[in-house]
Structure 1
Amino acid sequence: MRRLVAVAGAAVLGTTVLGPSAATVPELPGPVAGPGAEQGAKPVAGTSCPTFPSDNWWHADVSGLPVHDRSEQWLSHMSTGVDLHPDFGPSFGDGPNYGIPITVVASSHPKVRVRFDYASESDRVRYPLGADTRIEGGRGSSGDKHAIVVDKGSCRLYETWNTRVRRGHWVAGSGAVWSLGSNDLRPDGWTSADAAGLAILTGLLRWNEVKAGDVDHAIRFTTDVTSNHHLWPARHDAGSQDGLAYPPMGARFRLRAGFSEDGYSQHAVAVIEAMKTYGLVLADNGSPWYFQGEQNARWPASLIEELKSIPASEFVAVDTSSLKVSDDSGQVGSR
């Protein structure tokens, strides 16, 4: 995937918002109190940390929400004649396995200073990066080189984009830090390691949850032509189109309830059900209808092939505006 980062400003549908110029980092919430799993959302493997609270927008059931007024218009610019493409799975020896790796560390892990290309919109704290940090595509990759690190003691999430080591120093395009027990969003107008200014981890399919048949969140995906607007809870955009007729970052798409699951394996049905219940979230620019999962050697090749048969034409855009409690929070309210 390639993304363009617009740091001069951002736009919310209907309102232009200038990106903040402050170089300081907003105060982060404290560590999650008690086991993260008690927050409701399923924990990250190897930790008790949730992927944000269970009342977070990523975990919201959107199966009963209305179709967005611009659904047909957005989809007309989204190559709906193709099938979905899982951007993860085995590489069969042709380089690292596909997907975005997750590194789990202890709170005692050394933290380092990172130099950011887009420093004014990055959280400029020390990051727990080191020789053990797994980078998307490997350190020599020409791709996005995302790094996702979870501190299992503090339940903090550290994410960087275009992550590399240059002359012994860690460098990244941008970086963001979250408390996984909090619904707080980044300042509006700020990017993250994603063009939408959202966390990446929550939108990744993870093998353990698919194997258990219990995916409880929306799934991150990309398309190639997007608007330079964004929808709550997205905080940033990097589109090439001024008009509202093109899909904005943060747009959510749901697989039609009537899509037949006949002939699909149990694991594929778990993913299909998640797409019907929680949907897909437009989070970055990239190939149309590529959806993301963790890098994991246990992904079955047969499952990856099954998921390639889900047609993009079976999706509609969903209006999630009724879920919003606050502009600055990813918490959803009861409807």
Structure 2
Amino acid sequence: MARVVPRLSFVLVALCLAGAAHAQSCPATLPAQGAPIAAPLPVFPADNWWNTDISTAPVDALSPAYIAWIDPARQVHPDFGAGQGANAVYGFPYAVVNGAQPKWPVTFEYWDESDGVNLSTGQGVPFYPLPQNVLTSVGWVEGGPPATVDLRGSNDRHILIVDCTNRTLYELYNVWFSSQQNRWYAGSGAFFDMKTNNRRPEGWTSADASGLAIFPGLVRFDEAANAGVAEIQHAFRVTMRNTNGHVYPASHTAGSTSGALPMGARLRLKKNVNGVDPVTRTNDPAARKIFRAMQKYGLIVADNGSDMYISGTYDVRWNNDVLNPAFHSLRASDFEVVQLGWKPSAVPTMTIADVAVAEGQSGTKAMTFTVRLSAASAQTVTASYATSNVTAVAGSDYVSAIGSVSFAPGQTSRTISVTVKGDRTRESAETFRVTLTNPVNTTLADGVAAGTITNDDLIRTGGTGQKTVRAPAAVRFEK
């Protein structure tokens, strides 16, 4: 995996970011290799970059040029499967441990961009919960053989570990354990709290060249082949032969090849290619589920490798005789590149303000309610509205209203008008509600307004020396 010279100093991550209050379900037997991950799914927050719906994101202006650089005829390949034997582990194995798993220090090549390091010495501290299995068993370390076999020069040798108690993730790149020295070595290492969207510092690597976590971008058997999981809810990790810089959400650059995609670039499987949905090119339900996720969540360029290689977990249950031809039915030309660095705009909130007007002694007048957005949106924002009685009565005090309010892109203020009827009846102030519902591209921060009709007719008190007083003001009601 290509690397560049590190430039940022390390900030040590606290060992106890997640406590017992965040405990999650764990497999009955631990450590476990490739065990299903307990809910909630996806494994990072729903608004994490891996879990972001990009189905309506804009296409990059250079998308055709990027696809041409890859080669439009390039087949998509599943870089995972069911190989057997010590040297035939295809894809990423991952281990599941609990919070009691003993932690080891690791000596890193890129120590100043790795987690679990003493700043003053550059040496690792006990931080990574490495189970004994990675030292003794085939299939716990990427590439196959246990970590005691030094294959760092010919294999990436990743180790991925999920702490199911604290819902945290540990990832190591280019790992080797020296039995003679009783010491762990690795190129780099990273820690992720899967309950947060914490991103690596700008310029930092991780266990991946892009600075991203690996595990959340893998095609997992327990998602794809599980009929109980309706749809996969995240993007997938993809590699390219070369890259050029990096864009959000990546934090690290590992190449400067002109014309190549940057780390962090997103590709999206088209929903229509020559009038046909490419998902239908295979009848395999697992592959179809994977392809639908490529349409909704896409692929994220995360490492240098082979063009259009999709990363997944090592699992002997994969059927390569079905998986390979299904993936090979897709070509690079079936994809488009999403606008580089794209991320969804923050959804604005909508509010509606209370209004009070004097009713008048005859005729009608307009009561104008102002509806506001907390920020301008690049999309059209709408909501429905309707009036309802409180103490005011539709038909006699005001005219009921129902409709919708719409904000064009860039607009932050709109109005709703309700007609109020005047009369000479001596009465207290009366109120009705205007309620917003069905928000689109917004959320309702305050969706109910009070419309107060204040009385302007004089009320006389009895007795000698009569005087006049105004009708009492309205009392604010609870929304």
Structure-2-length-normalised TM-score: 0.60
Instruction: Give the match's secondary structure for 1:104.
Output: strand
Corresponding residue for residue 240 of structure 1:
256
Corresponding residue for residue 131 of structure 1:
132
The verdict on how the C-alpha distance between 1:262 and 1:238 changes in structure 2, with shifts beyond 3 A counting, is closer
After TM superposition, the structure 1 = structure 2 runs for residues 156-171 of structure 1, keeping only pairs within 5 Å, are 156-166=168-178, 167-171=181-185
Instruction: Give the match's secondary structure for 1:108.
Output: coil
* 8 Å contact kept, 2:66–2:260: yes
- Map Cα deviations across residues 6-39 of structure 1 (whole Å, 9 max, x no partner): 124xxxxxxxxxx32x2332557822754669xx
Aligned with 1:323 (options 344, 350, 356): 344
Give the letter aligned to residue 223 of structure 2. Answer: E
* 8 Å contact kept, 1:49–1:155: no
Q: Does residue 151 of structure 1 match 2:151?
A: no
After TM superposition, the structure 1 = structure 2 runs for residues 5-44 of structure 1, keeping only pairs within 5 Å, are 5-8=3-6, 19-20=7-8, 22-26=9-13, 30-31=17-18, 33-34=21-22
Which structure has the larger Rg over C-alpha atoms? 2
Aligned with 2:298 (options 269, 279, 295): 279
* 8 Å contact kept, 1:162–1:172: yes
| Identity, % of aligned positions | 37
More strand by share: 2
- Map Cα deviations across residues 109-166 of structure 1 (whole Å, 9 max, x no partner): 1100000010010002510113223210123443110100011111110000001112
Give the letter aligned to residue 321 of structure 1. Answer: W
Equivalent-residue separation in structure 1 for 2:57 and 2:4 (angstroms): 31
Greater relative contact order (Cα < 8 A, sep 6+): 1
* 8 Å contact kept, 1:36–1:155: yes
Instruction: Give the match's secondary structure for 1:283.
Output: strand
The verdict on how the C-alpha distance between 1:234 and 1:29 changes in structure 2, with shifts beyond 3 A counting, is farther
Corresponding residue for residue 49 of structure 2:
57
Give the letter aligned to residue 30 of structure 1. Answer: L
Equivalent-residue separation in structure 2 for 1:28 and 1:312 (angstroms): 42
Instruction: Give the match's secondary structure for 2:65.
Output: helix
Corresponding residue for residue 314 of structure 1:
334
Instruction: Give the match's secondary structure for 1:304.
Output: helix
* 8 Å contact kept, 1:36–1:49: no
The verdict on how the C-alpha distance between 1:34 and 1:104 changes in structure 2, with shifts beyond 3 A counting, is same
Equivalent-residue separation in structure 1 for 2:308 and 2:129 (angstroms): 32
Give the superposition deviation at 1:312. Answer: 1.5
Give the superposition deviation at 1:246. Answer: 2.1
Equivalent-residue separation in structure 1 for 2:185 and 2:4 (angstroms): 19
Give the superposition deviation at 1:250. Answer: 0.2
Q: Does residue 85 of structure 1 match 2:77?
A: yes
Equivalent-residue separation in structure 2 for 1:162 and 1:217 (angstroms): 26
Q: In terms of mean alpha carbon deviation, does 307-316 or 73-82 score higher?
A: 73-82
* 8 Å contact kept, 2:78–2:323: yes
Give the superposition deviation at 1:303. Answer: 3.0
The verdict on how the C-alpha distance between 1:35 and 1:47 changes in structure 2, with shifts beyond 3 A counting, is same
- Map Cα deviations across residues 41-97 of structure 1 (whole Å, 9 max, x no partner): xxx725456521111111111111110122122222223321011010022557333
Q: Does residue 4 of structure 1 match 2:2?
A: yes
Instruction: Give the match's secondary structure for 2:64.
Output: helix
Aligned with 1:205 (options 200, 216, 219): 219
Corresponding residue for residue 186 of structure 2:
172
Equivalent-residue separation in structure 1 for 2:316 and 2:185 (angstroms): 28
Q: Does residue 257 of structure 1 match 2:268?
A: no
* 8 Å contact kept, 1:158–1:176: yes
Give the superposition deviation at 1:310. Answer: 1.4
The verdict on how the C-alpha distance between 1:322 and 1:199 changes in structure 2, with shifts beyond 3 A counting, is closer
Q: Does residue 301 of structure 1 match 2:311?
A: no
Equivalent-residue separation in structure 1 for 2:91 and 2:164 (angstroms): 21
- Map Cα deviations across residues 188-241 of structure 1 (whole Å, 9 max, x no partner): 1000000000000000000011013521100001011210x2111100010132
- Map Cα deviations across residues 279-316 of structure 1 (whole Å, 9 max, x no partner): 11100000111110011111122332222221111111
* 8 Å contact kept, 2:24–2:164: no
Equivalent-residue separation in structure 2 for 1:296 and 1:224 (angstroms): 25
Equivalent-residue separation in structure 2 for 1:92 and 1:179 (angstroms): 33
Equivalent-residue separation in structure 2 for 1:174 and 1:324 (angstroms): 33
Corresponding residue for residue 36 of structure 2:
45
* 8 Å contact kept, 1:35–1:49: no
* 8 Å contact kept, 2:23–2:167: no
The verdict on how the C-alpha distance between 1:322 and 1:154 changes in structure 2, with shifts beyond 3 A counting, is closer
RMSD (Å) for aligned C-alpha atoms: 2.3
| Number of equivalences | 306
The verdict on how the C-alpha distance between 1:170 and 1:49 changes in structure 2, with shifts beyond 3 A counting, is farther
Give the superposition deviation at 1:4. Answer: 1.1
The verdict on how the C-alpha distance between 1:94 and 1:174 changes in structure 2, with shifts beyond 3 A counting, is closer
Equivalent-residue separation in structure 1 for 2:218 and 2:210 (angstroms): 15
Give the letter aligned to residue 315 of structure 2. Answer: N
The verdict on how the C-alpha distance between 1:182 and 1:36 changes in structure 2, with shifts beyond 3 A counting, is farther
Q: Does residue 98 of structure 1 match 2:90?
A: yes
Instruction: Give the match's secondary structure for 2:133.
Output: coil
Equivalent-residue separation in structure 1 for 2:83 and 2:256 (angstroms): 32
Instruction: Give the match's secondary structure for 1:150.
Output: strand
Equivalent-residue separation in structure 2 for 1:282 and 1:122 (angstroms): 21
